[in-house]
Amino acid sequence: MAKVVGSYADIIVIRHPWEGATKVVSDYAGIPVINAGDGGHQHPTQTLLDLYTIKKTRKTIKGLKIALWGDLKYGRTVHSLIFALAKLGADILFCPTPGLEVPEHILAKLVTEYGGEIERPEAATPAIKAGTLPLDAVYITPGSPHQLAMMPNISIQIELKAGVDALYVTRAQKERFTTAEEQEPEGRYPVVDKKMLKEKGFKETLIMHPLPRVDELACELDADPRSMYFKQAALGVPVRMALIALLLGVKETPQPEADTTPKIDYPIYKRGFGVRCPNPRCVSVQKTETKYLTPEFKIVNFKPLTLRCIYCEHGFEPKYVASTDWHEGRIDTKKYHSAQSHWARKIRPEHLIIFDSEKEAQAHGFKPSHYAQDPHKKDNE
C-alpha cells in the first residue's frame, strides 16, 4: 500500500490506530510521510502547533513550567509534547487521572536521552495533598537551579506557588482503554473550570487542549482570556502549511542551530524470532504485517536488560537470554538463562539471543541453566 500510494503522491499524511504504522509507511513509500497520529504513540504535528502557540504567547519555552493534565497514558499528543518540551528546556508537571499515568518507558527515555531529573512528591505530605494540582511527578530540565533532589516536597510546593505557565488538558482516550479501565468510575478528578483556576498560581496560566473535549474542560472557560485551545486549532493551519512547504521544497528555510543533544548509539537487536513487542497495538505484532515486518529493538539498558521497540517505542524487560556462541562442540552448553542474571551483561550484543518465554527458548533447542530459575546464583555454585 505504501509503495503504491508513494508512486501517486508527493506527500502522505497518515493517521492510524496501530502504533508505529507511520514508520512502516515511511520505510516503504519513498516520499515524505507526515504522522497525523498513530494510536497512543505520537502526534508530532499537534506538538508543532502546541509549541508555536506557547512561543507566540510567552516568547520562549525554555524555563517555563508546563502542567500536563488528564490521560497521560494513552494521549499521543502529550507523548510527543513531553519530549519536545524537554528538548527546549521546559519543566514538566505530570498531573494524570489516577491509573492513566505516563508510561514508565516514556519517563525512562526522557531522563536517559534528554537529561534532567524525575522527582515524585511523597503522597503523604499534607502540603501536596492540599495543593490544587494532583501531582504524580515533575521533570526538571537540565541546568535548572532547582534542588528537588535535596528537598523534593518543599521544592515542589514552592514551584506550584510560583505559578504554572501553561496547563495542557487532555480527554480520556476511552477508545484505547482496557476492559478494566472502562469500568473505572467517572469523575476521578475535578473538571478544569473557573473555580479550579481561581488560585493565584493560575492567574496568567495558558489553558490548552488539543481538542476535541468531552467533559474534562468546562465550556465556561471558552471566553476566558487565558484559554488558548481555539487559537491552538487555528494555528494548526499555518504550522502545517509551513511543514508541507518545507517537505515539498517550495520554501527556503534557514538552517537550524546544531543540535547539541547527546546522541546515544544503542545496540540493535533484530533476529526475527524469540521475542516480540508486548504492546498489542504495535504494528509489528499485527497478523497482516508480520509476514514482512521483522521485530526490531534498541537495547537501551543491560542492567536490567531493557528493549525498546523501534516501531512503537514501547519499552520492556524480556525474560530470558542465550548466546549464539554456545556450542564449543558440546550440545550440553546450549543453555538459556534468566535475563536478570549476570549473563544479560556478559553475552556480547552480537551473540545475544532473547526469548520472551521458556517455551520459546526450548523450541529453539535451548535447555535451562541453573540461572534460568535463580538469576542470583553465584558462578561457583
Structure confidence at residue 253 as a pLDDT band (50, 70, 90): confident
Do 213 and 277 reside in the same domain of the chain? no
Per the structure, the count of domains in the chain is 3
Q: Which residues contact 197 (CB under 8 A, 6 or more apart)?
A: 167, 205, 207, 221, 224, 226
Q: What local confidence, expressed as pLDDT, does residue 4 receive?
A: 97
Do 58 and 124 reside in the same domain of the chain? yes
Do 221 and 152 reside in the same domain of the chain? yes
The parent domain of residue 21 ranges over 2-39+236-248
Task: Report the CATH number at residue 48.
Answer: 3.40.50.1370
Do 63 and 191 reside in the same domain of the chain? yes
- Whether 21 and 283 have beta carbons less than 8 Å apart is answered as yes
Q: What local confidence, expressed as pLDDT, does residue 149 receive?
A: 43
Do 213 and 80 reside in the same domain of the chain? yes
Q: Is the pLDDT of residue 355 over 50?
A: yes
- Whether 52 and 73 have beta carbons less than 8 Å apart is answered as no
Residue that wins the pLDDT comparison between 362 and 130 = 362
The whole-number average pLDDT for the span 355-372 is: 92
The whole-number average pLDDT for the span 96-106 is: 90
Q: What local confidence, expressed as pLDDT, does residue 129 receive?
A: 41
Q: Cα(50)–Cα(194) distance, rounded to whole angstroms?
A: 22
Q: Cα(40)–Cα(73) distance, rounded to whole angstroms?
A: 8
**Burial group, residue 167, by CB count within 10 angstroms (0-12, 13-18, 19+):** buried
Do 229 and 345 reside in the same domain of the chain? no
Q: Is the pLDDT of residue 159 over 90?
A: no
Do 128 and 151 reside in the same domain of the chain? yes
Give the Å distances, CA to CA, from 253 to 79, 244, 245, 249: 27, 12, 10, 9
Centre a 10 Å sphere on the Cβ of residue 258 and count the other Cβ atoms it contains. 6
Q: What local confidence, expressed as pLDDT, does residue 157 receive?
A: 53
Q: Is the pLDDT of residue 126 over 60?
A: no
Do 225 and 133 reside in the same domain of the chain? yes
Residue that wins the pLDDT comparison between 176 and 71 = 71
Do 105 and 151 reside in the same domain of the chain? yes
Cell of 52: 508555536
The whole-number average pLDDT for the span 118-146 is: 66
Do 218 and 88 reside in the same domain of the chain? yes
The whole-chain average pLDDT of the chain stands at 87
Do 93 and 204 reside in the same domain of the chain? yes
Q: Is the pLDDT of residue 380 over 60?
A: no
